[in-house]
Amino acid sequence: MSASHSPAFDLVRRTRLLAAFFLAIEIIAFVAGFFAYPADQNPQQLYWASGILALALIATAALYVLAPTRYVQPCIFAVIVTITFLIAAIDPLSGTLGGGTWVLFQICPCVTALVLRNPIATISIAVVSAATLGVTAALQLSGSIPVTLVATRSALTFNLGLQIGVMIVLSVVIAVLTLQERRSLEQATQARVASEQSLQQLNQLLAHQQQLNEAMAANVAELQRREAQLASEQASKQAMRADMVRQAAPVVPILPQVVVIPLVGIFDDQRAGAMHRHLLSEIERQRARLIVMDVTGIETMDMLAGKALINMVQACSLLGAHVIIVGIAPEGAQFLVSLGIDTTKLHTMANLQSAVRYAMATVGGASAGVRSTQPGGR
């Protein structure tokens, strides 16, 4: 809640408006009394009026100055009581009693309700005003305070009772309305505070959501960076794997359309698959028609690798290339037979020299086709 709409600020503003209102009433009353009772006719009344005006001006100035302090409510109460006593002194100072000034006593409870917005203060001022009016009027009607009655005693007594009754009823009604207004204001204030708290919580949630969004964006960026790094690493690994395949199974041309592929180390299914793709691409690139596959350096071969080797031979045949396998040890031959592989479909030779001589004879011969030999032929 802003300071310009706080209850304390509203009380200060109402108090200073009340001080300005009292100042205007005091000046108007003094000027009216000055013309109604000239100083040359009754100088003593002028002195009393001047003293009352000075007292009222001092109270009004104190009320204006003390408006922002914690003493403002007692000061308002004291000033209104003082104004009530000053109103009660009007008839004794004028020397006449007509009951017209009694209406002014109705103002004090209303002003208290408008400024303080406090039902207890309103009832208290009403009691003080009614008591002051009743006591001063009774003293004047009984002759204790000498005044000239401008109406009959019975009429003035009836007017007095009417004024006190109206004051009490009006004060009670104003107090009830003030209490309802105060409760409504408290409810509105509580609703405003709850709304501001809800808005503050919403702002906190939005700020937290913004932080979560920023953290999520950072996580997404980090994930994208890691994915890019992983893709780069995978590409590097694939390139390295391709290099390893080329190095582990190099395709070496020895004659036009004749290549030699030496195989060494462990020959498993993964290596066989990579070499299969590499071999087919090299056959197509070099237009090879005779392939010498040297398996002398192979240490071990599993079942899947053996089947993959046969599949490579068949794939090369489909591309129009003839495959000669050299260097198969007796254990390797028995392993291929144990796999159920038909070795009669394989063209094998004892060593690389025999295969090279065969290739030279085949490529250099008159016949363009490749002569078939029995498997294991030397």
Rounded Cα distance between 120 and 127, Å, is 11
State whether 41 and 148 are in the same domain.
yes
In a domain, 315, yes or no: yes
226 domain residue, yes or no = no
Convert the pLDDT of each residue in 285-322 to its tens digit: 888 889 898 888 877 777 777 777 788 888 888 888 88
- Of 170, 199, 228, which residue constitutes the final position of a domain? 199
Instruction: Say how many C-beta atoms besides its own lie within 10 A of residue 153's C-beta.
Output: 11
What's residue 374's pLDDT? 37
Distance between CA atoms of residues 250 and 125, nearest Å: 115
**Is 68 inside any structural domain?**
yes
Q: Please give the pLDDT value at position 372.
A: 41
Specify the higher pLDDT residue, 236 or 241.
Answer: 236
> 362 and 281 in contact (C-beta within 8 Å)?
no
- Residues 375 and 357: their CA atoms lie apart, in Å, by 17
Per-residue pLDDT for 164 more than 60?
Answer: yes
CA distances to 29, 33, 34, 352 from 346, in Å: 137, 143, 144, 16
User: In terms of DSSP H, where are the helices of the chain?
Assistant: 7-36, 43-65, 72-88, 90-94, 107-116, 119-142, 153-248, 269-286, 303-318, 330-338, 352-364
Sign of the CA dihedral running 222, 226, 231, 236: positive
- Is 233 inside a domain boundary? no
**261 with 194, same domain?**
no
Percentage above 70 pLDDT, the chain? 84
Residue 277 maps to which CATH number? 3.30.750.24
Max avg pLDDT among 49-53, 230-234, 246-250, 363-367:
230-234
Which amino acid, residue 300? T
What pLDDT does residue 370 have? 39
Q: Which of 168, 181, 129 has its CA nearest to residue 7?
A: 181
Model confidence pLDDT, tens digit, residues 12-34: 888 888 888 878 877 776 676 66
User: Which of 199, 234, 257 finishes a domain?
Assistant: 199
Report the alpha-carbon distance of residue 104 to residue 310 in Å, rounded: 125
80 near 108, Cβ under 8 Å?
A: yes
Instruction: Note the pLDDT of residue 224.
Output: 92
Q: Are residues 172 and 253 in the same domain?
A: no
Which residues, in sequence order, are CB contacts of 361 under 8 Å at separation 6+?
none
What pLDDT shows up at residue 376? 43
pLDDT higher than 60, residue 40: no
User: To the nearest whole percent, how much of the chain has pLDDT over 90?
Assistant: 19
Q: Is residue 18 part of a domain?
A: yes
33 and 147 within one domain? yes
Res. 375: pLDDT tops 60: no
At residue 378, does pLDDT exceed 80?
no
Choose between 86 and 3: higher pLDDT: 86
Q: Which amino acid is at 106?
A: Q
Asked if residue 306 is part of any domain, the answer here is: yes
Number of structural domains the chain divides into: 2
Give the span between the Cα atoms of 204 and 251, in whole angstroms: 69
- Using an 8 Å Cβ cutoff, are 287 and 253 in contact? no
- Regarding whether 194 and 61 lie in a shared domain, the answer is yes
Q: Is there a single domain that holds both residue 155 and residue 277?
A: no
Same structural domain, 102 and 42 = yes
pLDDT score of 242 more than 70:
no
Residue with tokens 């700020």: 207
Q: For residue 80, which phi and psi values (nearest 5 degrees)?
A: -65, -40
Residue 235 lies in a domain: no
pLDDT at 129: 92
Query: Do both 23 and 138 map to the same domain?
Result: yes
Residue 29: predicted pLDDT: 66
pLDDT at residue 363 in the model: 72
At 365 the three-state DSSP class reads coil
CA separation for the pair 274, 242 (Å, rounded): 8
283 and 152 housed in the same domain: no
| pTM (global) more than 0.75 | no
User: Are residues 182 and 113 both part of a single domain?
Assistant: yes
User: Both 267 and 165 in a single domain?
Assistant: no
As a whole number of Å, the CA-based R_g of the chain is 60
DSSP 106: G
Digit-coded pLDDT (tens) for 269-288: 777 777 777 788 888 888 88
In a shared domain, residues 189 and 270:
no
The 10s digit of each residue's pLDDT in 318-371 is 888 888 989 887 777 777 777 777 667 778 888 888 888 888 888 755 334 433
Nearest partner of 312 among 327, 296, 295, judged by Cα: 295
Query: Nearest-CA neighbor of 320 among 260, 366, 369, 358?
Result: 369
Domain residue limits at 127: 3-199
Do strands 258-267 and 290-301 pair parallel, antiparallel, or not at all (unpaired)? parallel
**Residue finishing a domain among 157, 182, 199:** 199
pLDDT number for residue 37: 55
Instruction: Compute the mean pLDDT over every residue in the chain, rounded to the nearest whole number.
Output: 81
Determine, yes or no, domain membership for 375. Answer: no
